[in-house]
Amino acid sequence: DAKTTQPTSMDCAEGRAANLPCNHSTISGNEYVYWYRQIHSQGPQYIIHGLKNNETNEMASLIITEDRKSSTLILPHATLRDTAVYYCIVRVDISFNKFYFGSGTKLNVKP
Amino acid sequence: EAGVVQSPRYKIIEKKQPVAFWCNPISGHNTLYWYRQNLGQGPELLIRYENEEAVDDSQLPKDRFSAERLKGVDSTLKIQPAELGDSAVYLCASSFGLAGAYEQYFGPGTRLTVT
């Protein structure tokens, strides 16, 4: 099973870009990288996902290295509302949509 | 469009008592998941349904936990009897489609406290 490694916590100044790293060195060729976040007392919220190419949506950008062993989630202009736990997930079974959440990175956005 | 609905939001029970959680997924989503989240940890999958069929219940403690999804829409997760270690947040999620890169949509969860 592909597992992920993330820093326990990170700080970011409001208005600056937040770059959240994730290592997934055992990822297989057909496994997607997903990012979710969980704001306090809420359920996890989907952010973005990708396979090989970099992806961008209205919330964030996902940069995946060429060897696919790591990725970075970029929040271009962090706000206080982006304070949350961010989970990097590798979907280990493409046919069953099964996620393994780790402990995630607690992002603290500070004024 | 309504999101995933869960009830109750909070539940406090004494150990050895039964408890049930209810989930109504997003309309049209045929896959439903139950997760358990312990304090400070990420969610862990308990069971996954595709329509009314439980296709992955390998992590469900079957001696005390049970789940059902009648008619392939809403679902109930039950614990009987509850133990102190069952205190956690129970999350329900749903997704559209049976395979492929489909994101899961989560409800707000039910926080269970067993005393």
Residue A12 has pLDDT above 60, yes or no: yes
Sign of CA dihedral A59, B4, A96, B82: positive
Please state the rounded mean pLDDT for residues A38-60.
93
Residue A102 binned pLDDT confidence (cut-offs 50, 70, 90): confident
Which of the two residues, A104 and B99, has the higher pLDDT score?
A: A104
List the 22-61 stretch of A: residues with Cβ below 8 A of B: 32, 34, 41-46, 49, 51
Residue A91 is predicted with a pLDDT of 77
Residue of B nearest to A51 (CA): B101
pLDDT on residue B70: 83
Q: What does the pLDDT average to over A85-96?
A: 78
3-state helix, strand, coil in chain B (%, to 5): 5, 50, 45
* Chain A with chain B: Cβ pairs closer than 8 A: 55
pLDDT at B77: 98
Q: Kindly determine whether residue A97 and residue B109, on different chains, have CB atoms separated by under 8 Å.
A: no
pLDDT at A50 over 80: yes
How far, in Å, CA of A23 to CA of B73, rounded? 37
Q: B54 CA to chain A: closest CA distance, Å?
A: 12
Q: Tell me what pLDDT residue B99 has.
A: 53
> Is B105 close to A91, i.e. CB distance below 8 A?
no
Tell me the average confidence (pLDDT) per consecutive run of 10 residues in chain B, 115 residues long: 92 98 94 94 92 89 94 94 97 78 86 98
Q: Which of B43, B101, B108 sits opposite A101 (nearest CB)?
A: B43
* Residue pair B22/B6 in contact by the 8 Å Cβ criterion: yes
Q: What is the mean pLDDT of chain A?
A: 91
Q: Measure in Å the smallest separation between the Cα of B95 and chain A Cα atoms.
A: 9
- Residues of chain A neighbouring B56 (CB-CB closer than 8 A): 96, 98
pLDDT of A92 reads 63
- Report residue A70 CA to chain centroid gap: 11
> Once rounded to an integer, what is the mean pLDDT over residues A10-18?
97
